[in-house]
Chain A
Amino acid sequence: MALYALIRAMPSNYVKQMTSGKPGVTDQLIEQLEKNYGLDSSIPEGYVKWAGNVIKGDFGTSFVYKQPVFKVINDKMWASFWLSFIALILELLIAIPLGIISATKQYSKTDYAITTFAFLGISLPSFFFAALLQKFFAMDLRIFPLQGMVTAREDYEGFRLLLDIGWHYCLPIIVFVVLGVGSLMRYTRTNMLEVLNSDFIRTARAKGLSEHKVIYKHAFRNTLIPIVTMVGGSLPGLFSGAIITEGIFAIDGLGYTALQALKFGDIPFLMGFNMFLAVLTLIGTLISDVLYAVVDPRVRLS
C-alpha cells in the first residue's frame, strides 16, 4: 500500500505525460482521461479498488502496454529468467570449486588470487562493467552485438532464432556471472572452513581416509547443504530480472519493463509487479525450506 501511495504522489502521472506534448487538449479532456485511468479518486480509495480487483484475479490493464498486466509480466519474465538461469549455472560451476580450493589452501597464494578475483567481481559497478564489455567486445572487437535480444532487420526462425538470442545474451551473462561469482565463492569458502574444523572431519582422518576423500566426500557434502538451500531460494527471484543491466543491453526482460513503467508512472503494472515480487519471495522461501529438508537428514521429520 505504501508503494501505491508513493506512486500516486508522483506528480508526473501518466495522463499529464501523455498529454503534455499535445497542443489543444482541453482541461475537460484531461479530466475524462483521468477518470478512465482511475486516477481521479483519492489515494486510499484507489488502493481499495485495486485490491478488490486483485482478489478477483484482475490485475488491471497496464497503461503503457495496453494489455492486461498479467499477460505483460508473463511475456517478459521468460527473457529475464533464461538470462539469470544460465548465469546462475555458470556461477555455480565456477564458484563452488574455487571456494573449496580457496578454503583448503587457506592463506596460500592461490587463496589470495581467488579472493582478489572474487572481490573484484563484488566491487564492480554493473553499469561500468557492462559499458567496458560493450566497448571492447562489441565495438572494438565486434565479437558480440551491442544491444538487443535479437538482431534487428533479420527474421530468424526456430533454431537460428535460438542461436541469435544466445549470441545476444553472451555479454549480459558475462556481466551477471562476474558480479555474482564473487559472493557465491566467498560463501562456499566460509562454509567449507567451518566444516573443515568440525569433529567429524577429525574422525574421518583418524579412520585413515586420504585427505582428498576427507575433503571431497565428507566435507563437501556438508558444505553443500547451506548452498543448495540458498540457491533454491533464489530460483524464483530469477524471474524478476535486473533493472540496470537489462537496460544497458536493451534486453526486453522484466527488469527493463519495470524501469519503463517507473518512468511513466504505469500504476497497474507496478502494483502487479510488486505483487509478483512478493509472491516470488514467498515461493523462494518455501523452496528453500523444502530443499533444506531434502539435503540435511537432521531436519527431516520422522
Chain B
Amino acid sequence: MGDKNSIKSKGKMEQRKNIALMKSLDKAKNRKKIPKSEYVTEMKNKDNILEIDNLATYFFTDSGVVKAVNGVSFDIPRGKTVAVVGESGCGKSITSMSIMRLIQGPSGQIVDGQIRYNSEEGPINLVNVPISKMQELRGNKISMIFQEPMTSLNPVFTVGDQIDEAIQLHNPKLTAKQIKTRSIEMLELVGIARPEGIYDAYPHELSGGMRQRVMIGMALSCEPELIIADEPTTALDVTIQAQILELLREIKDKVNASILLITHDLGVVAEMADYVVVMYAGRIIEKGTAIDIYKNPQHPYTIGLLNSKPAVGKVVDKLYSIPGQVPNPINMPSHCYFKDRCEKSFEPCGAIYFKLRIFANTFR
C-alpha cells in the first residue's frame, strides 16, 4: 500500500519538477534581449548549411512528458538533399518545426541540443537565437513547405497578396510593382499557367495541387538557402504527387538550395535524396547516403521498412509489415526502442541504449 502511494507522490513530484523546467525554459526563450554570445557558435564542417546536434524537444502535458525528439543529430550539406524518413509520430515533423523555432510554447520546448546554422554573418545556434532574428530568417533564408495545402493559405487574402507579403517583408526596399512582378515570376517558376490570373485568385478557387505549388512559390520567393519540405505530397493524389516531385527536382537544380525532405514514402526518397536519415520514436536509427541505405541497410528497422514497401513485379503471398506498434512516447524505456518488435533482437538489445556504431564514414 505504502509502495503504491510513494510511487504516486513521486510521480507528482516529478511532474512538478517538469512543469518548473518548462516554465523556466519558456521564460528564457521569451527574454527581450539575448546577448549575442549566447548564440554565436562554430560549424564543425564549413560545407554544411545546417548541423543538428543532439536535439531534444519535449512536450510537457498533463499526462506526462512527451519526448517527441530525443537526441537527434545530423548534418545538411550545402546544395544537397537530405531525406528524413520514419513512421507517423516518430518525430520528423517536430524536428523540422524545431529548426524553424515554430514549436508551440509553453508546453513544447527545445530542451537540449544545438542547431547550428551557417548564416552569412557567421554561424549561429538557432536554439538560442532571439525570435526577432528567427523572424528575419524565416521565409527568407530558411523557408518551409507544409503538409496540408488545403488549409495552409489564409482564405481571405488573394494568393498574390500572400506571396507579395513574404517578399515585401524581407525586401522592404522594393516597390509594389517590383514585388508583384517577382510574385508572378515565382508563380511561373512553379509551373502555374496564366500566373497573372492566378495572382488575383483566392485560395479556395484553386485545387490542392495548385495550392501546393503556390506554397512552394512562396517558399522560394526570397531565394532561401535551406528549404524544409514537410511531407509536401502526402495530402495529394498520386498523379499530382508525381508532378510536385518533378517540380521539386527542377527547383533543386535551378536554385542550388539545400532541401530537407520529410516523408514516409520510401519511393520519393529514392528518387530525390542524397542522404537519408531514418527516425523511430524520436531517435535516429540509421543514417547514411541514399545508396548505402538502400543497398546495405544495417538496422533491423530499416530493413523492415524497406521490406514493407510492396515491389511492383514481385509476387508474394503476404505483404510484409513490421509487427507491433510504435511505443507510447511518454514512458520511453532506456534501451533500444525497437527491441519488442525486432526480429533480430538478442541479449545486448536489452542493455542501455548505446551510441550509434559507425559502419563507414558516412554510414551510421
Contact = CB atoms under 8 A, between A and B. Distances in A.
A108 B146 CA distance: 31
Nearest to A204: B154
A207 B202 contact: no
Size category of the binding interface on chain B: 20 to 34
Contacts of B136: 208
Given A206-B102, A208-B169, A199 B148 contact: yes
Interface in B137-173: 137-140, 143-144, 146, 148, 151-157, 165-166, 169-170
B158 to A, nearest CB: 8
Interface stretch (A85-93, A162-170, A217-225): A217-225
Interface in B218-263: 218
Contacts of A218: 154, 157
Contacts of B153: 200, 203
Contacts of B135: 208-210
Contacts of B216: none
B57 to A, nearest CB: 16
Contacts of B165: 207, 209
A90 B111 CA distance: 46
A205 interface: yes
A222 B138 CA distance: 23
> Which of A199, A222, A225, A296: most chain B CB closer than 10 A?
A199
Contacts of A202: 102, 146, 152
Contact of A206 (B131, B144, B151, B205): B144
B156 A222 contact: yes
Contacts of B202: 297-298
B138 A206 contact: yes
B100 interface: yes
Interface residues of A, number: 21
Given A206-B143, A206-B144, A207-B165, A200 B138 contact: no
B169 A221 contact: no
Nearest to B151: A199
Nearest to B144: A206
Contact of B204 (A203, A204, A209, A298): A298
Contact of A297 (B102, B134, B204): B204
A206 B155 contact: no
A216 to B, nearest CB: 13
A52 to B, nearest CB: 49
Contact of A200 (B152, B169, B205): B152
Contacts of B139: 206-208
Contacts of B138: 205-208
Nearest to B163: A207
**Among A199, A202, A206, which residue has the most Cβ atoms of chain B within 10 A?**
A206
A211 B148 CA distance: 22
Looking at B100, B148, B154, the one whose CB has the most chain A CB atoms below 10 A away is: B154
A198 B72 CA distance: 28
A181 B259 CA distance: 50
Contacts of B154: 200, 203-204, 218, 221-222
Nearest to A297: B202
B32 to A, nearest CB: 14
Given A206-B102, A209-B165, A210-B135, A198 B151 contact: yes
A211 B131 CA distance: 10
B152 A221 contact: no
B95 to A, nearest CB: 15
Interface string B38-81: 00000000000000000000000000000000000000000000
A222 B155 CA distance: 8
Contacts of B155: 200, 222, 296-298
A52 B169 CA distance: 66
Interface string B159-192: 0000001100110000000000000000000000
A50 B169 CA distance: 66
Given A199-B146, A199-B151, A208 B140 contact: yes
Contacts of B170: 208
A147 B102 CA distance: 57
Interface string B13-46: 0000000000000000000000000000000000
Given A205-B102, A207-B218, A297-B156, A200 B151 contact: yes
Interface of A: 198-200, 202-211, 218, 221-222, 225, 296-298, 302
12 contacts: A199-B152, A203-B215, A204-B154, A207-B166, A208-B134, A211-B131, A225-B156, A296-B156, A297-B202, A297-B204, A298-B202, A298-B204
- Listed from nearest, the 6 A-B pairs whose CB atoms lie closest are A208-B138, A207-B139, A208-B139, A199-B151, A200-B154, A208-B135
